[in-house]
Structures are given as structure tokens and as C-alpha cells.
Structure 1
């Protein structure tokens, strides 16, 4: 509801001052780097004393150099593991202050003189979901225009979209038949060519996106509040997300990882993202230095017209969201993640869909570095730790490629050359903890959310098999990108047909051979038994496919709700709307 004045002003401003004071004293990367340096000093002491120096004095300087190179890989490996533990700790420490600040902003009302026009841009490419479009378009804020941006090539989806628009005459349809540059091209085709400048903000929606009905109303409060009280130019607000719409056991089990990863990573990054502004000459300056970089994540995000026009267009890249975020920051626009505004994104329907998405993310991040690596290095808009944070976010996938190189050196090359690396047995435990750092953090939050210990253990075991089974495709995508293969936009499959044991085996055959060959070679060369931790899951990880064939009562109930939602969206204007948190 819109009202004439702000409410709770004193309390709100007090909360803002406390929040801004904390934001001006970032410590996340001080903690990460301190723990990492201490760990690596201990690690490198033993490596140099019992590995590098003896090898060098034995007349093998080249192998000494290889050991040092391998330690760079090991250092990166430990760095990401420590990061995965520190972010949840910081999140738990700061969460209540973040929530208090957000509650006070959300408690204010939109003023009568603040009534901007908002475009709801639903993007689809051969994956139109009528129930999702219908649900997203039902907003409490009234000054909205719903638009479907369709660049589908499949007549089945093209006709379904047209059928929907014929029934919902208030929804505008833009069909980009050229399908240039995937999602970025789809958005640019409308925003830069079809649109007649009649809007103030636009919301980006994916095909499987569900939004709470107050999404627009709530996000506009943060734009209004930033203008009135924070003296910063807020260009983008990103919503939190849950992974829902679970239609099988695969989705029900593994969607929980996103439900912890999204709020933890993005809340911390937003909390310590600093503040940008412009000086009298129009140059972008840091009002308060940040420790992290807040980014928009491609959907469930609202962008101001001023921000978009300053950037000019959505960068034509697979990771268009990440590229647009950096361009917005370079132009002096702040980005804010809001913990308590929600969207709902369906987790990939099965293991094959998850592998498709993972390969796309990996290659897209390498493409981003080619486009923006030099610019990020040279910019004065971001602090050194912000640059490190952005690189950490983007290059996490390279860990898999470097890990495999390190494993090859440690378990094949060095043993064949009779070179000792100095790695002691007692490093096995911290190495394992780092190796499973992300799933351990996920399990911790799942336990806090009410999971039983047995369910957490089940999740940890199956997650090891799932991501072990995906190891090959991730390493492959990383190496292809390193050797110049261009990133390609791939739509994550949204349908699942029952898959047999043989079908799953065939689909993962390359990964099975890759993992099995690595195990055999390493056991022959070095007898290293803990190679099994990385590659046995790759051999039998395809068994996780079967989870997508199973469904619980909750899954079947969700399926019925979604099917009814699809039917209602295509046949009735008064049909029941699918709940955003299904």
C-alpha cells in the first residue's frame, strides 16, 4: 500500500547508521587471508624442508620447480576451502543486523510522489512455463507492464506463448526471431530497439522464475530509501532465492544446497560491498571501501532506467548478468542484495540438467575473464579485496582444472621420478576438510534448519557421488575454455523422462572412463589410496540419476499444482495462482 509519508523514521535511520557503520569496517577477507597464510606457512615449511630443498640438492632443479608450481595449485585449493567456511561464519555473525536494517526499510511506505513504471520482462527460449509467467505478473504494485520476450525456435513453445498472450491481453509479446546472443540479445532487442523509453525500472525474469507478489513493491522501497537517506545511487536490487518447484527426489535433496549458498554468499557480499558515488567532475569514487562485490544474478533482479542507460546495453556474453554488474559498478551504480525479498528458481530437474548448467557456468566465467580481467585489474573503482572477491567468485571453477593438474603431478609425475614432495600424513585430515568444505557448510545449515543427523549424512554421501560424477564435465569445460573454445549459452533442460540404469551409464560413459583411468594410472604409479576419494564417485556417480525417477507425496502434490497452474494460465483469467514458495 502507498502512503503519503515515511513511518518509523527515527528507528529506521538508527538502523541504517548502525548498518552503514558496519559496512565501512569490512573484515571478511582479512579473516580469510589470515587463516590461509597461517595454514600455508605451516604447509610450505614441510614441503620446502622435506621436498623442494632435498630434490634441488639431489640435482633435480626442474623437479624442485614443479613442486613449487604444484604448491601454487595446493594454495588455491586451500584458499577456496577456507573461503567456503569463513563466509558462513560471517553470515551467522552479521545476519541479524542485516535483517534489522531490511525490516526497517521495508516498514517504510512508498510515497505518493514515487510511483514509477516497472516492466516485468519474462525471458524464454524454448522453455515457456505458463504458470510461472502468470504468477510473476500478479504483483501488488499496480504500475507494472508485463512483457514476454520470446526468442524460441520451437513452434510448440512459440504457439504456447501466443496462446497465453491471446488470453491475457494486458501482456505484451516481443518475439525476436533472430535469437542473437541468447538472453542478452533477447533483452537488448526489446530495451534498445522495441521500447519507446516509457519505463523507470525493469525486472528480469527467467522462464522458471516465481516471485512473491510484493516483489516490486518491496524492491522499490530500497530505491526510494537509498535516494532519501543513504546518498547513494542504487542501480540494481537483487532478490534472495529459494530452490523450489521440486518434482522429484533429486530436486528435493539437492535444491537445499542453493537454499544455503544464495543467502550466505550474497548477504555477506552485499553487507561489505562498500558505497560508490561520483565527485563534482563526474568521476566514480569510493565513499566507503568495500571488502566484497555485490552482483546481480540474472533473474529476480530489478534495474533502474538510469543504470541501464548509463551502461548502454546488456553485455553480449553468456554470463551477461556478471558482465552487466561490473559495467554498472564502473559507472558508479551500487548493487544491493536483499535477504528478505524472495524469488523461487527450480533446481535442475536431473543430473544431466545440472551438468549442462555447470558446464555453461564454467565456460561463461572464463569468457568473463577474457572480457573483463584486464579492466578489473586496472580499475580504481574497486578496492584490492573487492577485486579478489570478484575473481574468487568467477574463478572457483578453475579449481577443478588446477586440482586435476596438481593430482597428476603429486600422484603420477613425482612418484615416477622418485621425487618426495614433503607432504606429511597429518595433512590428510585438513586436506579432506577443505575438499568437502562446500558440502560441509551446506550440511551445517541444513542441520540448523531442522534436518536430522541421518538426513544430513545421507545428503553428504549422495552429494559426493553427484559432484564426483560431474567432475569430468567441469574439468573438460575448464580446459576447453583455457584453450580458447568459446562459451555457448545452453538452456538448462526442464523436462525429465524416466531414465534406465543403462541410459545413465551411457550418458556418463566419458566421465566413467576418465575417472576409472585416473584411478588405475595413479594406483599403478604411486599406490595413492586417497585418489579414490576424488574419482570413485566419478565411476559410480551416475547412479544418482535414479533419484530423478522417484517422487514423494510432496513432489506429486507440487506436480499437480503446477499442472493446474499451467492449465489455468492458458484457459482462464480467474484461475488460482501457483504460490511463489511451492
Structure 2
């Protein structure tokens, strides 16, 4: 849509800059790794070679691959946050300048809101999303549900909202991607853009209007919008939801700004400005143009269909950008079990993506070297806990048993700590900046360490299954919390508890590595957070009741009342 020769329009182009943060990361990372490699060579490799046991050299060298990865991911989290602090005001100013503009009166594209659901329909969420200031908007429910309760609920909603289309996928294949393709790739449609909604999605009322301005004044095919974690109605959700409010803008603003610009022409794709990072769409709260989707052909059949779609679009020459000033609202996972299911899905999905796309990404001339490195880091950031565990086994069990000399245990622990606490450090800085009291912050950090520290088992399990070529499976994150007793919590997490206890005993008995307590004590007690979702303050109970009442009202014909998207 954007004419590059039009100077008036170019003034309102989204802010972007030359690659900065990835080169800085690489410089810092290479400096640290040179130091580590020198010490590993002098303290480990030389003594091994002196004993004339060259095969044992493999273990410390293999472990250095993990050390390198831990430092790379840890440094990335810190540098990307610093970069965000440097550019966020310019990005906001650039976006607000575009949003203040008007689009031509004769430009009136049709936008469809595609609400995907599988036994998790939330009436109040869809009712609110439909309440847009832009009038040429069509709601479409894409339903894969098998539960009669949700099927009836959806039928009642369509009766109450006759302008909403309902499309059911009776075959229910390929999860979310199959649900979307069943509609988009079959029949004739008259949309110009579509928005993908998850079942708990809330959009601000000007969402569509704002997105269209971004498309009109920028040469983009996909626009991912910002999210806040709201609708939190129990103690677990309230405690841990704030991390997402930091992660979304920090990560995505930098990747959007440094994503470069592609020029798509009839003859092919040229790189207008080299990208230093890769901006991706995240599966919901995203608008995609019809031209972009039809050029891709379909949503790739993968668990991480959003990440795969982003690569397909980029390889085809379409620009993907992030809008920090256009908001959606999504609920944080309702309990610990839901959060672990989501983490497990992300882990297996990223391995599936890596297997399917690594060769194409490496060979691509559209994606720059810096973008490939950034994508590599992003893909491996989820299974990092499994890699940390492998490194722990090497340094604290295998090497001591074989009497292989290593650098001091504390020295080997440092890269793991840098990686583990890097995101926590970013959260700490932003929480303090936003006015969180120190004691509240301290309590939050301790709770986060205990919660996420108990995810080792599920991540290791997902990684092992992925490496054994077990297909990734799309599992819908549960949206409803059931009362969990102490015995139920132990029964749900006994494997993780035993896994942590065994690791602690083995490390202390074999190498005297008491520092493993830092990593695996959470796995012994983290299951207690399973019951935290049982507790609601009076305000949270009132909010839960309020949201339920809005769902009931959304099923009533003639009712126009909707929940405030900020709730």
C-alpha cells in the first residue's frame, strides 16, 4: 500500500534502525567465551591430554557448547532490554504519528475477526472483540469443539448475534492451523484482512481501526499487536501475570525495529535494509492481509503455526512488524498445570519448527545472518532448562565419576546462573521502574524462582520425547480451574518431585555439588503453587463473578453490554 516515492507518507513510516543489538551481543559473547575457552583448555583439556586419554576430552568440549548457549541466551535477554529502553520512546512517537493520521474515505477494506475455539469458548471475550469502532468488520467463529456444552453455547451465541458467521471443522485435523485453513482455504471469501483471536482474547475497541492505519501507511503483510495479561481472577494468575506485560513489548519492539525491510516485486524479493532480528507473529492479536496469506498459501501444519507462518511470509518477501500502541488483553494461564502444559507445548513445538525449517533458514538469502542467529536463540530459549540439566549431569556426575578434571564447580555454574536469572533481572528492573515496592518485588522473585525452577522435569521430558522424534501435539491450554487438594497436587507432580530429589542426591553423593540445591529445591516444593489458584480475594471473586455474568449476557439476544477490554 505504501508508495516509497511519496514523501508525505514516508514521514509516517514505522521507526526502524540499523542492526545494533545482535552485533553487540556477539561481541560481548565472544569476549566471554574466549576467557572460558582459555580456562577450560588450561584446567581441563591439558591435564586430560597429559594423562594420554584423548577420548575424555570430548566431554568438556561438548559441555562448552552448552556453556556458550547459556551465555548467548543470557546476554541476549539483558542487551535486548537495554536496547528497548533506548528506543521505546521513538517507537511510541512513530506509531502515534501514524495512528493520528486519517485513511482515505474511499478506502474501506473488509476485516474478519477469526475466533478459534476448541472446547474453550468464552462468550464475553468474543462479544467484546466484536465491539469495534470500524464498521466493516465481520466476526467468524471457527469451531473445532467436541464437548456438547461448548457446542450449544456457541449455537446460542450465534442466535444472539446473527451477524456472526459460524464455521465448524468436523474433521478436526491439524489443530489450530487446520481450523484456520478449513475456512480460509475453502470456498470464496470477500475479506481484505483478517485478525486471529484466541478464545480468551479481548481487543480494544479501536483495534481494527488502528491496525488498518498501520497497514495503509506501511508496506507490511502481517502486524502483531501488543498484549497485556489481564482478566486475572485468582491468586496464581495475579501473582505471575506481570512477567508477560514486560516480555511482550521488550522482546517484540526491538525485533520489529531491527527487523529490516523487504521489497517484494514481481521479479522476486530484495532486501531494502538488512535486518538484525526477526519479528514474528504470535498466533493471536495479529492482523494479516489477504495478499500475504494467499501468497503463503495456507497456515503451515505445525504446532507452532504462528512461528512457521512468519518464516513462510518472510521468505516470500512480506514484512512483519509489531505495534506497541495497539492492545489486546489475554488471560494468564489459570493455574500451574495450565502453565506447564503451555510450556511443554512450546518446547516440543520449537523442536518441530527447528527440524522443519532449519535447512531453509540457513540457505535463505532473504533472512540475514543476524536474523538467523536471533531466530536460533529464540527457538532454543524454551528447551534451555533441558540443556541446563544435561550440562549439570556432565559436570556434576559423569566427569567426577570418570575423574575428568574441570574448571571449579562455581565457575561452571556461572553461565547457567546468567541464563537462568537474565529474564528475572529484566523483570526486576522494570518492576522497580514501575513503582513496585522492594519487599513485594523480593517476594515476587522468590515465588517466580520456585515456580519456574520446578519446570525442569517437564522441559527435560518434552525435549527427550522431541529428540526421539515423537510428534509435537497441539494441546489447548485449560481455561477453567478446578479445586486442587494437597494430595491431588502431589499426585500431579510426583514425577517432577522424584526427579529433583534424585538429581540432588546424585550430585551431592558423587561430586559434593551442594549448589544444585539452587536449581532443584524448587522442584521439590514448587508443586505447592498448584493450590494457589484455589485462593481468591474478595475483589478477585467479584471479578470472576463479573466475567461470568458478562458471558451469560453475551448469550442473550438483544443484549449489547460488553466487558471493558482493560478488565
TM normalised by structure 1 equals: 0.94
1:273 paired to 2:265: no
Tell me: CA distance 1:315–1:430, structure 2 relative to 1, closer, same or farther (3 Å): closer
Alignment partner of 1:175 is 2:150: no
Q: Indicate the residue corresponding to 1:219 in structure 2.
A: 211
Contact kept, 8 Å, 2:258 with 2:276, in 1: the verdict is yes
Q: Is the CA contact (8 Å cut-off) linking 2:71 and 2:418 kept in structure 1?
A: no
Report the equivalent of 1:199.
Answer: 191
Query: How far apart, in 1, do the equivalents of 2:66 and 2:553 lie?
Result: 54
1-structure distance, mates of 2:491, 2:96: 51
Q: Does 1:209 align with 2:183?
A: no
Q: Give the match for residue 72 of structure 1.
A: 65
Q: Does 1:125 align with 2:118?
A: yes
Deviations, residues 90-134 of structure 1 (Å, cap 9, x unaligned): 000010110010010000012112100001111100000000010
Q: Give 2:232's aligned residue.
A: 246
1:426 and 1:394, CA in 2 relative to 1: closer, same or farther beyond 3 A?
closer
Secondary structure at the counterpart of residue 186 of structure 2 = helix
From 503, 509, 520, give the equivalent of 1:535: 520
Is 1:53–1:64's contact at 8 Å kept on the other side of the alignment?
no
The alpha carbon displacement at 1:572 in A equals 4.2
The 3 A distance-change label for structure 1 pair 47 and 451 is: same
Measured in 2, the distance between the counterparts of 1:152 and 1:499 equals 26
Pair 1:255-2:241 in alignment: yes
2:295 matched to which residue of 1? 310
Partner of 2:504: 519
Instruction: Specify the alignment match of 1:560 in structure 2.
Output: 545
Instruction: Give structure 1 stretches of 5+ with no counterpart.
Output: 1-8, 227-231
Q: Quick one: distance in 2 between partners of 1:361 and 1:499?
A: 25
Distance in 1 between the 2:412 and 2:63 partners? 15
Measured after TM superposition, the shift of residue 197 of structure 1 is 2.6
State which of 406, 416, 426 in structure 2 corresponds to 1:421.
406
Structure 2: unaligned runs, 5 residues or longer: 1-5
Secondary structure at the aligned position of 1:56 is classed as helix
| Higher alpha-carbon deviation: 291-300 or 47-56 | 47-56
Q: 2:472 maps to which residue?
A: 487
Residues 202 and 303, structure 1, Cα contact 8 Å, conserved in 2: yes
Counterpart mapping for 1:333-344 below 5 A:
333-344=318-329
User: Do structure 1's residue 332 and structure 2's residue 325 form an aligned pair?
Assistant: no
Matches within 5 A, 1:447-526: 447-526=432-511
Q: Which shifted more, 58-67 or 305-314? A: 58-67
C-alpha displacement of 1:303: 0.6
Q: Which whole-Å CA distance do the structure 2 matches of 1:32 and 1:572 have between them?
A: 56
Q: CA deviation at 1:391?
A: 1.5
Are 1:152 and 2:152 counterparts? no
CA-CA distance at 1:557 after TM superposition: 2.9
CA distance in 2: counterparts of 1:60 and 1:534, whole angstroms: 32
State the Cα distance separating 1:564 from its structure 2 match. 1.5
In the TM superposition, residue 10 of structure 1 has moved relative to its aligned partner by: 8.7
1:429-440 aligned at under 5 Å gives the runs: 431-440=416-425
Q: Distance in 2 between matches of 1:262 and 1:368?
A: 21
Deviations 1:270-328 (A, max 9, x none): 0100000134x521111000000111110001110000110111111111111111111
1:97 corresponds to 2:93: no
Between the two proteins, the alignment pairs up a number of residues equal to: 562
Distance in 2, matches of 1:102 and 1:370, equals: 36
Determine the C-alpha separation between the residues in 2 that align with 1:486 and 1:433: 32
Q: How far, CA to CA, are the matches of 2:399 and 2:366 in structure 1? A: 44
Which residue of 2 is the match for residue 405 of structure 1? 390
Which residue number in structure 2 is paired with residue 388 of structure 1?
373
RMSD: 1.6
Measured after TM superposition, the shift of residue 483 of structure 1 is 1.2
CA–CA distance in 1 between the matches of 2:109 and 2:191? 7
Q: Name the SS of the counterpart of 1:576 in structure 2.
A: coil
State the SS of the aligned residue for 1:530: helix
Matched, 1:360 2:345: yes
